[in-house]
Each structure stands twice: as C-alpha cells, then as structure tokens.
Amino acid sequence: MALIASLGALCAAGVFCFLAITFGHRLLRFCRLDFDSDAQHLLFCAALGFVIFEIGVFFLEVAGTLRSGLVLLLGAAVVIGILELRHAGPRFAVVVRNLFTGPVAEKLLLATIFLVLAFAGIAATAPLTGSDSLHYHFTAPLGVLREGWHPNFFLLHSFLTGQGHLLILTGLALGSEKLSLALVYLGGVLSAAAAACLARKWMSRTWALLTALTFLLTPVVFWQITSAGAPDLWMAFFATLGVLCVARCKEDSRAALAILAGILAGALAGAKYTGCILAASLALAFFWEARSLRRLGLFFCGALGAGIWPYARNCVWTGDPVFPFLLHWFGRTEINSYALSGIQADTGAAAARNLWQLVWFPFFANVDRLHFGFWQFFGPVCLIFAPLLFLSVRNTPLWRAALIVWVASSFGIGATSGMTRFLLPILPVALAAVFAGVAALRDKEWRIARGIAYGSIGLFLMMGAAGLLLYGRRAVAAAVGLTSREDYLLQRAPDYAKAEFVNGVLDGKGSTGRVLAFFRHVYYLRVPFAYGDPVASWPVDPQRLNSPEAWKTFLQTQGIRWVVRAPDYPPTIAARLQQLELSGDLVPIAQGEVNSVEGMRIFGVHKTVSIVVLQVKD
C-alpha cells in the first residue's frame, strides 16, 4: 500500500504538471508567443501555468474557501486541458519521440537520468523528516488548514513562506502529504529539464543531458529533491527560464514577452526574500537587453502581478512586507529584539562579510562556518571549470543574460545573506555555462586538459550517485513499505518521539487551550500548539516576560493550558518558568523518557531525553 500511495502521489504530480502545461499553452497561444524548441515551449507553459495556479490558491486561502475552491479550480483546469490538448498534443508527441531517438550515448544518459529521477521520486514521497520543513515549510501551511488565514506570530518563520508553499498547501488541502512532497520533487524535475534546455543552446544534446544529470547528482540538489521538503528548486526552474526569456527580448520587442519575463522574475521574488535579489538581477539583464523604459515598466507589471502576494500578506498583517527585517521603518508591531536577532542569524543577515568571501560566491565555493552542513555542498564543478569559460563565452544575448543573472545574484546573496545554499536557484545557469567551456575542449588539441576535465566529471557523477544511494536508501525503504512509517519517523524525524508523547498525553483533553512547546520540529503535533523558543517566536520575548507574574498573564491571554519541558526550557526564559513550577502555577501531569534524533539525520544519532507535560493552574 505504501508503494501504491507513493506512485499515486507522483502520478498526481504529473497530472498537475500536465494541467499547468495545457493552461499555460492556452495563454501563450493567445499571446502568440512561441519558443525555439517544443521542449522549451512546454517548460514555459508549465511555468506560466503554475504561477497562475499559485495565485489562484492564494486568493482561495485568503477567502477561506480553500478545499471547495480547489475542486473548482482543478475542475476548470481539467476542462481547459481537454480543450487545449489538440493544440498542445503535437508538441508532447515531438518531445516524447525525441527522447527515443539519437545515438547510444544519449540514450544511456537519458536512461541514467530516468533512473536517478525514479529513485529520487520514490525517496521524495517518504514521510516528512526535513528539519526546516518540520519547523515551518509544512507546518505553516498545515496551520492555515487548521486555524484559517491569519498571522502566526509564534511561528516566526511562517512569515518567510512564499508562493511555492502554496503547492505544499494544495497537497495538504487535498489530504495528501505525499502529494505535497511530490509537487516539491516536481520542481527539481522541471529545473533539470530547464538546465538541459539552456545548455542545449550552447552545446550538443549529449552535453546538455550531461548538464542535467550533473545537476541532479549535486548533493545539495538531491538533498532538496528527496527529503528537504522545501520548494526552493522551483526557484531554479523559474530562474533558468528567466534567462532564456530575457535573452530573446533584444530581438523580440513584443509586450507579451516583456510581461512573461516579469512574471518569471515575480515568481522568483514571491518564493522567498532572497528571491528579490534574483528578480532584480533578471530585471538588470532585461533592461540591458531591451534598453527601453516602457518595456521595463511592462516587466515590472508582470513581476508585481506574479510575486507581490506574500509581501502584501505580510504588510496587511504587520505593516512590514518583509517582516521582521524592516519593522523599524514600516511595522505596526512591537519589536522583539531577541527574536529579530535570532532570525537574522538564522538567515545569515547578521553575519559580517568581506570582499574576499564575496569573490567565492559565484563559484559556489564559499563555506559558511556558522551554518556548516551537508546542505551547503554544491561540489567543485563550477569552481574548477570556471577558467574554461573563456573558450565559450561570446557577446550574445543569452551569454550576457546568463552571466548577469549568475554574477549579480551571487554577489547580492553573498552581500545580504552569505548563506551558500541560497545560491541553489542559479546553479542550473552556472552549470550550463561552465559545461559549455568543457564541451569546447573537444575542438582543442589539449588532450591532457580534456582528459582531466572528463575524468573530473565522471568522478563527480560517481560520487554523486553513491551519495544519492546512501542518502536516500532509508527513505526509499519507507516509501515502498519495507520500513513502517512509525519506525522510519522514530529513526529519522527530529523531535518526532517528543511530539508523539505530547499527542498521547493531550489527545482527548478537550479542544480549549494550546500547548506551549519549545522543541523546534512541531509538524507532527496533533494538538493545538504554540511554538515557544524565544529565538524564533515573536510573542515569547525574554525582555517582557521577565517575571513570574508576566508569564502568568501571558499564558492566560494566549490561551495556553499546557507547557512542555523536553528536557529543559530555553536558557533565556528557564528561570521564570522554573519559578512557576516551584510556586505550583505549572503542575506536572505526565512525564517520561523518549529516544529522540539529535543533530543531522544523516548521522543517525539518538539520545534519550526526559519530557514533562505541565498544566497551567486555573
């Protein structure tokens, strides 16, 4: 049954993609826009279709009619898809036919790509275990389904959710966590296809497929595509198509093309705050090619229409469109300096950077020692092959657009955040560019250089494939049913055992009141909760909650009936809560020990910790 459910979720994601493509095809046909190849055209159709779908889901979310509205939205998409199939069908047929033609080397590469995607797809539908996804990527959308559309100040990172999270919300609203995960995975599939289309502009089909395979086997990519549960790979899809679209704007001055380029930039900006930097780099590339203020105005209209909605939401809720980073200037909410410092540190905004560090960013070679982890590893390909760019770079619109977006985005993210993993959206562009340099070696008499380059790529692919198998094997076992869901989550999901203990204690205790939990990964809590760690919870301000009386008032006004200590309170608020325990205002009602995952899941380290559930005295 687990395997059937996983395959069903992947098939459902494929249906979503088909509907998005047919809807986008109808819009592009109406605008009389056509692109160089059928594969590229269908990718633009998919991008446009998903952007429109996300906007529709946003308004359904705001209106409080998400579940019923989704049925109508998907029904309309099915009707449009059926009607449009006679126009889009021939393009699908050409793309499928081309997959089965070509020399043996291409067929082997395609077969390898399909095997990688199949393995990653099954792994992606395993139960959710990603740290950030358990904290907010999935928790925030689930909160909307449970409590409605309103700000959750206890979960500060919920304000960072963007358009891509609406795909997660869609899957959860349709009752399937697996579908949400499959839609996240779909972003990786489309990004790899976009990378191949971009690379095909500069090199042979074989090298274009090799670019896509290298992208998929890059550790940070297969981490994102299999178990991270974050929609960041959708940004890579939009960024790569944005480069292809902007490159056409010099020779094609139609308003529709400028608006489409803006929509892709808006999709980037609406995904997360750092997406604004990527959107700005696309705008810079567009203006460089178009040299027209009128068309730039159309570009910005498209961008605002596609990506303004998360910022409008935050502005309505707090007065700060990028809450809480501009709260000093625009906010209507009192500032929690402790939480603000915490989220600045978590996103890298507070770290100091020098020019030498920024120089390494375009090559994905900077290492953030404050946030060191597996998720930073892009591999050495862009760095070691960057010198070969001089063999391939030409003064053409596509090269200019690619280099502007690559370099400007890298420096922008390096200067504002300094976190290497935020460079993921421009990885397909960078890989395609450096592989063009490697491909150019075949026309040179540099046999040693060519041998080293080819050997380096082969070694990287072998190491990437081994890493994927090692990293994803447990997820695959859970997705196909060889490991039970419960056992898998106990082995791999941080804080799952703590959440289950709390669920067991509080299930059936009534619906009034919430539990205040301080452990980070709260997605699996089935009871109403408030996240309480001061580093990422806006209402829990150590400066204001500086006495037992302040805490008692806070617990009462916030409707908190229980508090969880597992194993200790956060240090900045521990003393006051311990005083409440000593005074009898917090009364233990259950305690025990659980075996919980500690640190990064890949190491499989577990630790037995004590957990206590306390009830607030009436």
Asked whether residue 613 carries a pLDDT value surpassing 90, the answer given is yes
Tokens of 319: 């007065």
Pairing of strands 586-597, 606-616: antiparallel
pLDDT of 369 > 80? The answer is no
pLDDT band for position 597 (50/70/90)?
confident
- Residue 387: count other Cβ atoms within 10 Å of its Cβ: 11
Give yes or no for a contact between 324 and 343, defined as CB atoms under 8 angstroms apart: yes
- The predicted-structure confidence for 174-226, as pLDDT tens digits, reads as follows 999 999 999 999 999 999 999 999 999 999 999 999 999 999 999 999 999 99
Distance CA 224, CA 232 (A): 8
Judge contact between 224 and 188, C-beta under 8 A.
yes
Q: Is residue 533 classed as helix, strand or coil in its secondary structure?
A: coil
**What is the C-alpha to C-alpha distance for residues 359 and 354, in angstroms, rounded to an integer?**
9
Tokens standing for residue 545: 């909650």
Structure tokens, 30: 């109406």
The three-state secondary structure class of 586 is strand
Q: What DSSP assignment string belongs to 93-138?
A: HHHHHHHT-S-HHHHHHHHHHHHHHHHHHHHHTSPP--HHIIIIIT
Query: Residues 497-505: what's their mean pLDDT?
Result: 96
Query: How far is it, in rounded angstroms, from Cα 245 to Cα 286?
Result: 9
Closest of 111, 5, 179, 116 to residue 472, by C-alpha: 116
Burial of 439 (0-12, 13-18, 19+ CB in 10 A): buried
Phi, psi of 419 (to 5 degrees): -100, 115
Query: pLDDT at position 371, please?
Result: 55
Q: Which amino acid is at 291?
A: R
Reported as a pLDDT band with limits 50, 70 and 90, residue 351 is low
- What's the distance, Cα to Cα, between the start and end of the chain in Å? 46
* Residue among 321, 57, 412, 17 at smallest CA distance from 182: 17
| Neighbour count for residue 588 (Cβ, 10 Å) | 12
Domain residue spans of the chain: 2-471, 494-616
Long-range contacts of 27-32 (CB under 8 A, 24+ apart): 27/52, 29/84, 29/87, 31/256, 31/260, 32/256
Here the tokens at position 143 are 């909160």
Fold (topology level) of 494-616: D-Maltodextrin-Binding Protein; domain 2 (3.40.190)
- Tell me the average pLDDT across 292-320: 97
Amino acid symbol at 216: L
Query: How confident is the model over 163-168, as a mean pLDDT?
Result: 97
Read off the pLDDT band of 345 (50, 70, 90). confident
The angle formed by the CA atoms of residues 68, 72 and 74, to the nearest 5 degrees, is: 110
CA distances from 514 to 478, 554, 559, 566, 576 (A): 32, 13, 6, 17, 20
Across 31-35, 509-513, 525-529, least confident range: 509-513
Largest CA distance in the chain: 83
Q: pLDDT tens digits for 93-140?
A: 999 999 988 899 999 999 999 999 999 999 999 999 999 999 999 999
Q: Report the C-alpha gap between 420 and 408 in whole angstroms.
A: 14
Distance CA 211, CA 204 (A): 11
DSSP SS3 for 611: strand
List, in sequence order, every beta strand (DSSP E) within 493-555. 514-517, 529-531
Structure tokens at 114: 């399909």
Q: Per residue in 303-337, is it b (16+ CB within 10 Å) or e — as a string?
A: bbbbbbbbbebbbebbebbbbbbebeeebeeeebe
**Closest by alpha carbon to 145, among 229, 57, 61?**
61
pLDDT digits (tens, 9 = 90+) for 264-282: 999 999 999 999 999 999 9
Q: In the structure, what pLDDT confidence band is assigned to residue 306 with cuts at 50, 70 and 90?
A: very high
Distance of alpha carbon 155 from alpha carbon 167, whole angstroms: 20
- For 407, the 3-state DSSP assignment is helix
CA angle centred on 208, ends 205 and 214, rounded to 5°: 145
Claim: this prediction has a pTM higher than 0.85: yes
DSSP 216: H
